[in-house]
Structure 1
Amino acid sequence: MAAEDYETGSAKQNPETGAVAVRTIFPDLPAFADRQWAVMTVDNGGHYNSYDGIADWSDITPVR
């Protein structure tokens, strides 16, 4: 999948560290690339990241 395939609220998880990323409302434009995903880690707090930084993470199926 590509960055534009994920809707706001989509989630991915790093299987090695347990960190979770949630797709933000920021558009798929170069000016916002580093804010496309909000990442929360268990030992380093939260930060924003680009799709390239989390592309290899596992998709999480939303629970509804």
Structure 2
Amino acid sequence: MISPDLSGAEFRTPTLSGANNNCVEVATNLPELVAVRDSKDPFGPALTFSHPAWNNFLTGIRNGEI
């Protein structure tokens, strides 16, 4: 499996996350994918999703389906 190039990823922490730093960071600026990583391990692995898959995930959360 080839790892995607995340060198241009601009990770951001959600504004609603608490001050305890127990959250995820999301990079949505990449043309082919969305990357998600643990804020406590910024050099660790990241999960990647296509933009449609990420949007479906967010919709499922908003609708209480996930």
Q: Normalized per residue, which structure has more strand?
A: 1
What TM-score do you get using the length of structure 1 for normalisation?
Answer: 0.33
What TM-score do you get using the length of structure 2 for normalisation?
Answer: 0.33
Higher Rg of the two aligned structures: 2
